[in-house]
Each structure stands twice: as C-alpha cells, then as structure tokens.
Structure 1
Amino acid sequence: MTPGNAFAQAVPNPPDATAEEEIDPAAADDTAGEIVVTGFRASLESQTAAKRNSIGFTDSIFAEDIGKFPDTNIAESLNRIPGITIGREVTGEGSSVAIRGLGTNFTRVLLNGTPVAIASVRFDAQSTNREVDLDLIPTELFTQLTVAKSPTASLLEGGAAGTVNLRAARPFDNPKPYISYGLQGSKVSGADKWGYRGHLVASATFGDFGILVGGAAVRNNFNVEGYETIGFTNPNLTAAQRTTGTRNATGGGNFTIPATVPSRAGNGLTPGAVIDEAFLLRNNPGATIDQIDNGLLPRLGRPRSENGFRQRYNGLVSIEWRPSDNFNFYVDGMYAQRDTEFTRTAMNWVGRNGAVIPINTTYDKADCAAGCTVTGGTYANAQFFLEYRPYKDTQDYYGINPGIEFKLNDWIKGDLQANYTKSNFRRESPTFLVITPPN
C-alpha cells in the first residue's frame, strides 16, 4: 500500500438554492421539540444524577414508574446496589440488609428519612437483634431507595456500616393523575398451591394539593425440604478409651461413649462388654485412635421440612401541599400486616449429650491429630426424636410521618418532621417431641 494525497471537494449548492433557503428558522422550530426520557433509561438517568449530586458516598435506585420494581420486597431491591448483601429466609425471600460485610444490626434503616423498627423474628430463629424486617415492606409503594455508605450532617446517626433510606411514593412525584396496577401469579417449586402478588396505586394533584393512595398484597405458599445440623461435635473419651497420645487433643466434644455396652445396643455387641481403647480399635478396623477421638459428627443432624404460607397486606396514604417551589408540606401514613402459618417437621439424630458407640467408621483424612470429619460408619445405641412444630405468626406495623421541606434562599434550607410508629408481633409455637428411650 502506497501513501497518496487526499483532496477536499466543494459540494455545490442545490439548484436555485439560496442562503435563506438553506437555513430556515421556522422549519427548525417545527422540527425541534422537548425530548422526554422515560422507562428504564429514565431510572438510570435519575440514579446517575443522584450519585453525581451527592455529598458523600451514596447509591440510589429508582423505579421508572410506581410499581415497576421487579423484586418481591425492599430487601431484594436493595441487593442490586454494589456493596449490599441480604439475608434470606429458608423460603428464599430477602429479609435483611448488610453493608460492606458488617452484620445487619450495623445498618440503620430509615423510612422517609425517619427511624423505623419492626417487631419480628426469623423462621425458627435462635436469636434476633435490632435489624429491620424488610420483607414486610413492598417495593410497589416506593419510588426511591438510597444507601449512604458515609455519614453526612443530614443523616440520623446509628448506622456504623451505613444508612438505608426508603422513600415512599408521593403525589408530586408525578403530578399528572394516574392509576398504577399489577397482578401476578406465582408457583413455588414443591408447593401445592399458587400464590399471588398485586398492587393498586392512584394519585392526583389539584393545583398545590395532591393525594396518593395505594395498596399491595402478597401471598406465597412454600414447601422447603433439606438437611441441617446445629454444629458439630466429637466424643469426650475417657482415660480407659484412650491410653496413648494426647486424649481429647482438640478439646473433647459434648457426647460420651459409654464405659460398657448397654443392654439394647444391638449390632452384634455383647451387653456389658467393656468399651476401652482396644474395643474401639477392634470395632473400627483401619481407623486410628486419633480419628476416633477427634472425628467430628453432627451435634443434631436432621432432615427437615417446612410447609405453609405467608401473606402480607400493605397500605399507603400520602398527602402533599406545595404552595410554592420553596415549601413542601407532606403527611405520609403506612400500614402493614403479615400472617404466617407453617409447620416444621424434623427427625433428629442425637449427637449432643448422646452416648453412641462408633462401629466401622471412616474419616476424610488419615492425620486427625488436629481434627477431621467422619464420612461413614454405624453408631450403636443411637437415639432419635421426631420434632413437630406448628407456627402461627401475626405481625403488624403502622406509622405516620408529617413534615415540611423549605428553602428560604440559596444558603438557608432545611426540613422538619415528626414520626410515630408502632409494631406488634405474636408467635404461637407449641412443640411436640417423640423420642426413643435411652439405651
């Protein structure tokens, strides 16, 4: 390829064209108009603008229209923000929010800029903290979710990891009269019945005054099958059961191997036979005393199932008065109620405080001085209990939030607001246990 020369060419005007005809202001006015961006691109544009104008490190997500968040609750919508992880119930629903790897109790949650606390408990929870149960709050009634990862003077203190602000829909978010509605059906794998999800929001403005009313309802049927254990443990051998090396080198667990074979142990064992180190090695060919001593077993291993439903109802009323661009008076009211009914069934193999006798056990590694895991074997003198728990939870939340936003001039602006919330929670959870007798 050889270099060449490039020459510019003059483009002649069309025949009979004049300078006035080439640029016609009237024609330009006819074709030029206002460009309105809507839909998903509008939500991304709003998100970018909010991040650009923010003083600190914040991320926001916007619904391109009320009721258009694709998630089932607020927690799952917040999971779309970088640095946010959520906790989930056994049903798969998002429930709580954690920021930058810290626990959920380090996150402060605000509703329309005010504190919110919801009385609740997780499925079969061992303990709870001050986290906010976000699966009680629907996405359909909100238009903006903001996560602040650094503190600012305008934020309430208390969020060591960050602060989440949930902004409910208000009439002047879209001054035009409108009605938003949606209805979906859902079928969870394993569940026998269909669930549903729906919302209806209506809003209108009348000059300086506006009102918005909305409601949402969700019912999810679920059936969860799985296996779990509450921790792992190893035996606490006696001096007779380990005569060489360091006994219980990894600490010793919370179950013991009996000193003698019980009367109903079965498995070919002789009742009354002494269970010492020689007995353990003889009945576990190929295993070392280190493995028998330090091998981990489930403390309470159990296949379990949870079957039932959760249904939630939400209502929102928002009133705004905007006498000028510098003053905005509002009152937000929200109500939520959720009912949960399910049964939990589990067949538990007792490891903790038990007295099983290991036979023909195998382990995941040969050197078990620092601990290993049992991969197979037979355990005589085992004990089981069948656990049946029907749960019935009732939960509600309601609050009212009046306030004013004002701007006196370019350097004096602010907001005032009051907040009242109340939440009630009640759980009925009787437990039925059927247990095999010891020995």
Structure 2
Amino acid sequence: MKNRILGTTAFAVVAATPFVALAQTAEPAAVASQATATLDEIVVTGSYRRSLEEAVDIKRKTVGFSDSIVATDVANFPEQNLAEALQRIPGVTIERNRGLGQRVNVRGLPSDFTFVSINGLATASGSGGRDVEFDIFASEIIQQVTVQKSPRAADEEGGIAGSVNISTARPFDYAGRRVVGSVEGAYNSISEEIDPKIAFLASDTWGDFGALVSFSTARRTNRTDSESGINFRPMSRFLATSTGARGTQAAAVLLRDAGIAIPNRSDTNVTNRIIFQDKVGDRAYLNTQDQWGGTVSLQYRPSSNFSLAFDAMIGSYDTTEDEYDAAAYSASSRSTLETIHEYDATTLADYGMVVLRDVSYTATQHEMLSKERINETDYQQFGTELNWSGDSWKLHAIAGYSGAEKTLDYANLKHVAYAPSRTRWTAEGGETIQSANPASIDMYNSPSRYLFEAYETTYEEINDDKYAAQIDFTHYLDFSFFPALKSVQVGARYTDKSKERQYGSLNIQGSGAGKVDYVGRPMSQSELTPIGDLVPGGDYSIRDLNWSQVSNDYARRTFRYDGFFTPFNVGDYYEVTEEVLAAYAMADLEFDLGPVPVAVNGGARYIDTSITSSGYHQIQTPTGGTTYTPEPVSSDGSYDKVLPSLNITADLTDSLIFRAAASETLIRPALTDLAYKRTASWNSFRFTDGNPNLKPTYAKQWEAGLEQYLGDGGLLAVSYFWKEIEGVVRQALTGTVPNVTKYNANGSIDGVYTFDVYQPINEPGSYEVSGVELVAVVPFGQFFSPLEGFGINANYTVLDSSLTGSSTLDIPTPPIGLADNTYNVTLFYENDKLQARASYNYKDEYVEAIGYEMYPITREGYGQVDLSASYRVTDSLQLNVEGINVTDEATKGYTMDPSFPTMYEKSGRRINFGLRMEF
C-alpha cells in the first residue's frame, strides 16, 4: 500500500518510501514481511510527535534515500504556500521572491536541477523551465510530498538534485467519513493588511466506492520595501561603446581623479575592470495574490488486490504587483564622469579591478517608474491510476495530463529627468544626492522636471502542456536455486511535453495610436500620490525618504487609449515539443551476509528523447530590409541514454542500519533554452538565441549513510553523497552582429553598436559536488522524564563543490544557485491539548546571477524564525496561531564583496490566526 501519514492535525518531516506514487493496494502476504515492502495504512492521532515516530518507522523499512513532509489532511501546512512547507525537509531550501517562497532547492543545488511531479505526472506551472513555481499551488490541497534523493530504474528520470513527488489525498486514505474545514486571517507587518484563507475537505466511502473533494482559497497582500538595483557597470559603457566628448571626458576624469590612464579605450579587458554604479533605486512593492485550488478524487476498491482511482487538481494563481521606483541611472546615454570623489583599488585588487565608490555624473537619467505586473496562471491536472495484484504479481498503470496557461501583462510608466547628480555606495545599498553642479536637482522632490518618455507595455501568453502514460509489471519470485531474488519489475513510460509562447510589446507615447503628444509632458500634470499612500502601510521603511509619483491605476485609466492592445510579434513566437519513450527493468534481492540481512534494488532505465523547436526567423528583403518567414521554421534534436541505479540496505544491528545508493541521472535543458528564437537585451548590447541541439546535464552519483534508531521515535542519521556533473548548461558568446541601431524609449536613436550573440551551450568537462547530510529526531523525554513532550527535529547539509560559474573576466565564481550550508531546526512540545513548534531555517549565501557575464552577484545567507501553536478546545475544534519571519529578517545581496551591496529588502512579519473544525 502507498505510504501515507494520516490523522487529524499533525504535519511532519519524514523519511518515506521512494515508491510514493505507486500502488495503494496491500502487497501479497508472501512478500509482506520483505524489507522492501510498503506499509499498511498508518493512522496518526493528530500528534506531531506521533507522526514523527511513524515517519522514523517508515524510514527504517525502505530501500534508498528519501524524505517527506506530510499534511495529515487539509489546512495543516502552516506556511504561506507549498514551497515554504517543503523547507522543513532535510536538504531542502527555498528561493524567496520579495519574502515569499517560490522555488525549491535540494541539497543546495540550483532549483532547475530538481524534478517535480504530482500523483506521478510531471508538473506544468507555466515557467518554461524544469523548475516549478511552487507558489502557484495552494498547500492545503496537498496530502504528502516526498523528496527522493536516490532514484530507482522505475522512477521517472529528471532530477540531479532530487525528485519532488507530490500526492493529493484519496478517499480510502481515511477510515470512513471525514469533513474538515478551517478559516484563517493573516496580518503583514509592513502592509498592515489582514488577508483571509478558507480551506475545506470532505471524504467518504460507500462500500467499494469513495469520493473526496478539497478546496482552498486565499488572498495575500505582501508589501516589500527595497533599496536595490545597485549593480556593477563596466567603464566600457562610457569608453569602449562611445566616441567623441563623453568618452574623452571619462578618460580625462579617470586620469585626473584616480590616476588611471586608459591608453586604449577599446581594450575591454581593461575597461571592464573599472567599475561604477549602474543604477540606484528606492522601491516599494505591493504584491496582491489571489489563489484557489481544489482536488477531486474518485476511487473504486472492491478488494485489497484491486484499486482504480481518478484524480483531478485544478486551480488558479493571480497576482498583481505594483512597483513604484525612484531611480537614478548613472550609465545614461547622455552622461559621463564629472568628478570621482572616492575610489577603491584594494578590495578587488586580486582581479585587477578598481571600483569608483562615490562619483558625480554630468547627466544622470533620473527616473520615476510606475510598474504594474499582472500574472494569471490557471493550472489543471487529470490522472488515473490502476493497481491490480495477484498471489505473485502486481500491475500498475497511470495516465494523465498536466497543463498550465499563463498570461503576463506588464506596464511601465516612465518619466525621466536628466541632470547632474552624485551617486555612491552606502552600508546597505546606495544613494543619489545633489552634486556640486548648480544644475543638479533633488530627484525626489522635483516633479516638474520629470518628463513623460513612454508608457511601455508587454504582453505574453504561455501554454505549457504535459501528457504521460506508464505501465509496469512486478512478478514476485521464490526460486529454490536463487532464493535471494524476490521480485523483478519491468515497465515503460511515454511523455509528451510542449511549450508555446506568444509575446508582444508596444510603447504608448500619445493619446491615440501613432500619436506622440504625451512626449515631454511634465509628471506634475498627472495625479501624484505620496509613496506612503501608493502602497498600504505608510512611510517607506528602508530610508527616511518620501516622494510622490503616478499610481498604476491612474496610469492604466489615463494612458491606455480606447482600442489599445499589445500586438504579438511573430519574431518572438516559439514552440518547443519534447517526446520521451522510456523502458526499464529492475530486481529486488534479499540475503544475509553473515548475521547481517541485506536488501538490494537494482536496475536500468533506457530513455529516447526527440525535440522539435519552431519559430519565425528574420530574412533579408531584396531592398535591404528585414522581414520574417511566412511560416515557422523548425529544428530537431534527439538523444538517448541508459541510466543504471542501485540501492542497498543492511541491518547491521537491531537499531543500526547502513544504506548505500549509486545511479546515473540527468536533468533536461529548459524548454526556453531549446526554443528556436532570438531575444534582444538593448541595454546590455546583446542578443540571446535558443539552442535546439542542447543535451541534458548528466550526473553520476553515489551515497552512503548510517541511521541509529534510538527508540521512542528517535533517530540519528548521517549520509555522505557525491555527484560528478557534466554538460552543465551556461550562456556563451557565440558571435557578434555589427551595425545594430539602438533606440531610446521615445523613438530617438541612441547609437549604432556591435551586439554580442549569446547562446546556451553544454559546457565541456565535468565537475564534482559532494556533501554530508545530518538528521536528528530526538524526543527529550526518553532521556529525562521531566522533559516529556519536548523534542527536536533538525537537519544540516554541507556541500563542497569544484563546480564553477562562468565569468568572461576569469573571476572565480561558484555555480549559480549553489549554497554550501543549509540547516533546519524545529523545537517542539505537545501534550493532549497543546502543540507548539519553533523553527529556524537557514540557507547560506549563493551566487544569484553573473552581471554582464563578468561579475558574480551574491545573495547573502538568510535565516528565518517561524513559530506555530495549536490548542484543542474540543475534539472537533482547534485554535491555531502562526508567526512567519517573526524576527523581520531582511534579504540582502552584494556584488563580489559585501562592501558593494546590491540589495536591501524587507517584506515584514506575517502573523496568522486560525480556527479548525472537524465534523
């Protein structure tokens, strides 16, 4: 039977069977005692402590390395979404976006190294990559999540870091009728808004039939104040890419104020090592999320040997983000250096770099930006699962569809004021102030100086569809000549994945189509609102600043003329399809090595993958212009591979278990990287092409570990893992395009430049990643009776990697997304009425991006304290209170050295109060 922890109020971090998405029927009696057999239904009585005990028992009986989190039924994940719930699992951390968990990292590796499935089907979320945006999923509709770290041949390939297998609830998971509901209010300390959440689950069985429905809806209003955008910009912006007076003056000021001589302005190896600030921005975000999700499960189970289930999961995640940005763009096309007040030739001297810390500029582009991002995602998944077994065999089959439709509507109202100013780094970010030049302005309080430049709009539609079918057959054996061989399993799987993307952009510059009568209109002629009123919660919290600008509501009402729409550009269209046929075989063995019982699972998986990527391409016209092909042009790619796997468990003593695993696995390239298209980054002077001929990133890996069971649900575990990764996908310079005309937002010509062309490639060579993972589940009462009810559930992962990122200046760079240290600690207490938990989750610093392919940008280490408590008033009524980020931690980042901060961002605390009812 499928392993599920069931009950009333608990959720737990557990180690569970890697066969999480397979049969719910019981195993034949002949093999029920095997170490590889799954467990019968486990009923947990609403106790976090009890659920941990059962989890430890499950871990003890499985082959392979795997950990889980279980919501015993609806409304038991205490975090804002599913991503935040998963951070309690050993080796799992999350990536946050403005205070909200969004993507999952396993063992410190990048999120796109993780494979995600729901009820055995690969999951669509509209991201276009292999990573899944977990924030779209309502956590209350999820029953169990298993992170599988050592694959078997029968498991779908796709995760170098691990595979996240999500399960939704089914009616026969519960003994009879079950009705659970909850209501909750959540308060954000910055926005000062109270958001509602409602969740409901109803399940019942009638003889051989059962039905279950669950539903959750929530609104979240998150405000984030941020001082950010303070990245490095190479002096080649003024020297190598410009001619005439601006370049000449920049070179003269460098010599006069810093003693730096530039004999050859075109030598980018020199000019790219002289750094100034790109942009300094003070920003307030208001992110409003409306989320709902529901599941339906129908199940027919006439006997313990036969089960047929249909599962449906549908939902929607709509978010509107208002960003109000007062920024100073030091690298404007009109500006150059005026005075260098302070420079730093020592901090990054090992790389031959000089950083201009404090500079006055001749014509900074001051910007008031009112940005609006409206993202709407609708997702659905439908699947059916068959489990049928006899005395010596078992048949398992699944088939289903997962799809997501996403639209992204973006607008940016841009007012610009050109004037001299002074920009410098501060302890937490940067600031722009008036310079000594008499033409300088107070950028925050000069609305009449800001002129309308453009109301920029983009619109994107994404369709992400995935189909899958799998069938496998297991035969249980009892050979007298080979008693160790207990079972063999063979199977096949077919998947069909596709992503289609439409994209368009249009700048409004007037009161109607083709008109430019708004250009040069002062911002003071629009309705202006103080920043403390544009977003709820009052004054800007990062710095003692106040400014006024145009609200997004006013901008949409005023500047979008009747009949306006954003047209799609055929040059930005692409479609990628991927078909995979897999076949596998594996066997289970049990035998004794002396006094030590050993269980072995081994096998191999063969995959054959075909890719077709289509898009419109530019062609030259007879008159010298350009147009696009009348029909999409396609490019095909393919690859095949055999992936072996081996898992071993040995019971060294009654309480000490040794585990080992070895396998070869892969992660496929993102569908967006495979797309047959070209996109332009005008400010970076580069084109980015797709590459349909990309191959997967492969990994050879092994792991070994010991688990000491303490009794009374206690566990101490340690494992060492090693991975050799080859074919890492990275962006590489593959060519140039000369004589590209670059335009400003108002339609004027900025200049004619040579653009670099970058493509994703499989980097040659291989790299090693190794690490240690520690897990401790310790109920204190077994050692000291007065501490009965208290305990700790903790895990720690440390990595060591030879994997490096790519810097065109040969700056040593860790791989993007890899953190060396992560740990989670939960202290808990419970009795018959009260449960309380305090958790701390920490992820070490990691490289978030490489600016201009040269400078590693690091997200600082981040730790967060969360609290939760529940009190059972009656058998059917429970009160809950939760605190998320109760210490109000800020998110920080820097470029190359902490003295050059890029971001300081605060999203506040979140306090939840809830009522839970069972009927």
| Residue 70 in structure 1 maps to residue 78 in structure 2 | yes
Taking the aligned partners of 2:92 and 2:261, their CA distance within structure 1 comes to 43
Structure 1 pair 277–213 and aligned structure 2 pair: CA distance change class (3 A): closer
Number of the residue aligned with 1:189: 189
1:367, 1:99 → 2: CA distance?
A: 33
* Residue matched to 1:270: none
Q: Look up the match of 2:61.
A: 53
Structure 2 counterpart of 1:53, which letter?
Answer: K
1:394 to 343, 355, 376: 376
Determine whether 1:374 maps to 2:356: yes
Structure 2 Cα separation of the partners of residues 280 and 111 of structure 1: 58
8 Å CA contact 2:105, 2:114 repeated in 1? yes
Counterpart in the other structure of 2:337: 357
How many Å apart are 1:298 and its aligned residue? Answer: 2.4
Of structures 1 and 2, the larger Rg is shown by 1
For residues 236-255 of structure 1, the aligned pairs below 5 Å read 236=236
Map of 1:259 onto structure 2: 245
**Alpha-carbon distance between aligned partners in 2 of 1:350 and 1:436, rounded to the nearest angstrom:** 10
Deviates more, 1:206-215 or 1:35-44: 35-44
* 1:413 pairs with 2:384: no
- Counterpart of 1:312? 291
1:278 Cα deviation after fit: 6.1
Residues in 2 aligned to 1:325 and 1:303: alpha-carbon distance in whole angstroms:
62
**Any residues of structure 2 matched to 1:26-425 within 5 Å, and which?**
38-90=46-98, 92-120=99-127, 129-229=129-229, 231-236=231-236, 259=245, 275=249, 280=254, 282=256, 284=257, 287-289=258-260, 294-352=273-331, 354=333, 355-366=335-346, 370-409=352-391, 411-425=392-406
* Conservation of the 8 A alpha-carbon contact between 2:82 and 2:135: yes
Tell me how far apart the structure 2 counterparts of residues 214 and 374 of structure 1 sit (CA, whole Å): 57
More strand as a share of residues: 2
Q: Does structure 2 conserve the Cα–Cα contact (< 8 Å) formed by 1:235 and 1:257? A: no
Alpha-carbon distance between aligned partners in 1 of 2:409 and 2:309, rounded to the nearest angstrom: 39
Check whether the contact 2:299–2:310 (CA below 8 A) recurs between aligned residues.
Answer: yes
What displacement does 1:371 show?
1.3
8 Å contact 1:301–1:348 — kept in the other structure?
yes
| Closer/same/farther in 2, CA of residues 237 and 387 from structure 1, 3 Å limit | closer
Post-superposition offset of 1:148: 0.6
CA contact (8 A) 1:216 1:315 kept: yes
CA deviations 1:287-328 (Å, max 9, x no partner) are 442799755222233222211411101111111121111222
Shift in Å, 1:279: 5.1
Name the CA distance, whole Å, in 2 between partners of 1:302 and 1:380.
19
Offset of 1:360 from its aligned partner?
Answer: 4.3
TM normalised by structure 2 equals: 0.37
- Matched positions, count: 367
Letter in 2 for 1:315: G
CA distance in 1, matches of 2:384, 2:250: 74
Deviations 1:315-368 (A, max 9, x none): 111111211112221111111112212212222322345433242421345577
Q: CA deviation at 1:414?
A: 3.7
How far off its partner does 1:218 sit? 1.2
Given that residues 58 and 148 in structure 1 are in contact (C-alpha distance below 8 angstroms), is that contact kept between their aligned partners in structure 2? Answer: yes
**Identity, % of aligned positions:** 29
For 1:313 and 1:97, how far apart are their aligned partners in 2?
21
1:191 deviates by 1.1
State the alpha-carbon separation in 1 of the partners of residues 228 and 243 from structure 2. 24
Contact residue 335 and residue 398 of structure 1 kept, 8 A: yes
User: Could you say if the C-alpha distance between residues 378 and 309 of structure 1 is closer, same or farther in structure 2, counting changes exceeding 3 Å?
Assistant: same
Measured at CA, do residues 325 and 276 of structure 1 come closer, stay the same or move farther in structure 2, by a change above 3 Å? closer
* Match in the other structure for 1:20: none
- Structure 2 SS opposite 1:43: helix
Q: For the residues of structure 1 that align with 2:136 and 2:250, how far apart are their CA atoms? A: 57
Query: Which consecutive residues of structure 2, in runs of 5 or more, have no partner in the other structure?
Result: 1-42, 263-269, 421-919
- TM-superposed CA distance for 1:39, in Å, is 1.4
Q: Match for residue 242 of structure 1?
A: none
Mapped to 2, the partners of 1:253 and 1:140 lie a distance apart of: 55
Contact kept in structure 1, 2:291 and 2:315, CA below 8 Å: yes
| Distance across 1 between alignment mates of 2:181 and 2:308 | 27
What corresponds to 1:264 in structure 2?
Answer: none
The SS at the match of 1:151 is coil
Structure 1 letter corresponding to 2:343: Y
Query: Structure 1 CA distance, aligned partners of 2:107 and 2:250?
Result: 51
Task: Please list the CA deviations of residues 364-409 of structure 1 after superposition, one character each: whole Å capped at 9, or x if unmatched.
Answer: 4557751143333433322222222222222101121111122223
Contact 2:149 2:163 in 1 (8 A): yes
In the TM superposition, residue 175 of structure 1 has moved relative to its aligned partner by 1.7
How many angstroms apart in 2 are the aligned matches of 1:75 and 1:367?
37
Change (3 A) 1:149 1:366: closer
Q: How big is each residue's C-alpha offset from its partner over 1:250-304, in whole Å with a ceiling of 9 and x where there is no partner? A: xx776x697369xxxxxxxxxxxx737665555x3xx442799755222233222
Are the aligned partners of 2:232 and 2:277 in contact in 1 as well (CA < 8 Å)? yes
> Aligned equivalents of 2:119 and 2:418: distance in 1?
57
Q: Secondary structure at the match of 1:323?
A: strand
- SS of residue in 1 equivalent to 2:339: strand
* Aligned 8 A contact 2:332 2:363 in 1: no
Cα distance, 1:154 vs structure 2? 2.6
Instruction: After TM superposition, give the deviation of residue 108 of structure 1 in Å.
Output: 1.1
Residue 66 to residue 146, structure 1, CA distance change in 2 (3 Å)? same
Residue 383 of structure 1 aligns to a residue in which SS? strand
Quick check: 1:50–1:60 contact (8 Å CA) kept in 2?
A: no
In the TM superposition, residue 434 of structure 1 has moved relative to its aligned partner by: 1.6
48 and 391 in structure 1: CA distance in 2 versus 1, 3 angstrom threshold: same
Q: Residues 72 and 417 (structure 1 numbering): CA distance in 2 closer, same or farther, change over 3 Å?
A: same
Please say if residues 255 and 261 of structure 2, whose CA atoms lie closer than 8 Å, have aligned partners that are also in contact. Answer: no
Q: Render the CA deviation track for 1:107-156: whole Å, top value 9, x for unaligned.
A: 11110111111114xxxxxxx62321211212212221101111112311
| Matching residue of 2:808 | none
User: Corresponding residue for 1:428?
Assistant: 409
Q: Which moved more, 1:46-55 or 1:146-155?
A: 46-55
- Partners of 2:306 and 2:159 in 1: CA distance: 29
